[in-house]
Amino acid sequence: MNEPHPQRAVILLSGGIDSTTTAAVAREQGFELYALTVAYGQRHAVELDAARKVAAALGVARHVVQSIDLSAFGGSALTADIAVPKDRSTVEMGEDIPITYVPARNTVFLSLALAWAEVLGAQHIFIGANAVDYSGYPDCRPDFLRAFETLANLATKAGREGKLFHIEAPLLMLTKADIIRWGWRLGVDYSLTHSCYDPSPEGLACGSCDSCQIRHRGFVEAGVPDPTRYAAST
């Protein structure tokens, strides 16, 4: 344990556009990928299937799905019985912290990624955090990610011994269109990914939640065909 493996990286992989593109970027940089998906009691379990398909398509060295029941704590439209907002304007989305905010989600996810990274001897943890389209989420901001990196190096045997961890968020300041263009160049198959907060029982996207709207506009702005299967036309 803890022997450094500089070519290894842990990737938080939700199966959405951002984490999938981030994984493709990490692979392009030469890392061997260890993909971590957290099943946190989210309503959209179809995300997990997307994560598995993406992990297979990217040829990751290992994919771990870790289950946590965040719904035991309650408190978010993604885990509790609160309606997902639909058909909101960009201005409405930009106001305040969204109801879809899951308390401390990225802190929990990064902590688990850190635990695995230390066991693997990996010093790089990739996360698809984005401060542009998700500006309402406190745990997608640069100062949060820097604080987590500081914490990681105090929290671990590896960090204390100078084998420093790096939190990599290559998409942090990109628009959705930028992200899609980058992934497109890297050959990402976005038909495998999933973004909808409120999919149909068959796993089709609703087309009207914030996440569907941001996703669809991203494809349009990037000039890339949207491969998403929608339950209703957008």
Under rule CB under 8 A, which residues in 161-200 are in contact with a copy of itself?
Answer: none
Position among 15, 16, 128, 159 found at the interface with a copy of itself (CB under 8 A): 159
CA distance 15 to 57: 11
Which residue lies nearer to a copy of itself by CB, 83 or 154? 154
- In the chain, how many H helices and how many E strands? 8, 5
Contact 33, 9 (CB under 8 A): yes
DSSP reduced 3-state for 9: strand
The pair of three-digit structure tokens given for residue 1, joined into one six-digit string: 């344990």
103 interacts with a copy of itself by CB under 8 A: yes
Residue 226 CA, distance from chain mean position = 19
68 interacts with a copy of itself by CB under 8 A: yes
Position among 94, 157, 223, 225 found at the interface with a copy of itself (CB under 8 A): 157
Position among 52, 86, 138, 220 found at the interface with a copy of itself (CB under 8 A): 138
Please report, as a single letter, which amino acid is at residue 24: A
Residue 84 CA, distance from chain mean position = 19
The pair of three-digit structure tokens given for residue 49, joined into one six-digit string: 């299937």
| Nearest approach, Cβ of residue 139 and a copy of itself (Å) | 5
44 interacts with a copy of itself by CB under 8 A: no
DSSP conformation class of 166: E
Contact 35, 59 (CB under 8 A): no
Position among 18, 47, 133, 139 found at the interface with a copy of itself (CB under 8 A): 139
| Nearest approach, Cβ of residue 201 and a copy of itself (Å) | 27
Position among 57, 115, 177, 186 found at the interface with a copy of itself (CB under 8 A): 115
228 interacts with a copy of itself by CB under 8 A: no
Position among 86, 111, 132, 203 found at the interface with a copy of itself (CB under 8 A): 111
Q: CA torsion sign, 95 to 40 to 84 to 233?
A: positive
Which residue lies nearer to a copy of itself by CB, 160 or 185? 160
Which residue lies nearer to a copy of itself by CB, 24 or 125? 125
Under rule CB under 8 A, which residues in 71-90 are in contact with a copy of itself?
Answer: 72-76
Interface with a copy of itself (CB under 8 A), residue total 46
3 interacts with a copy of itself by CB under 8 A: no
| Nearest approach, Cβ of residue 208 and a copy of itself (Å) | 24
CA distance 200 to 115: 34
The residues, any chain, with a CB within 8 Å of residue 158's CB and separated by 6 or more, are: 2, 4, 118, 121, 123, 165
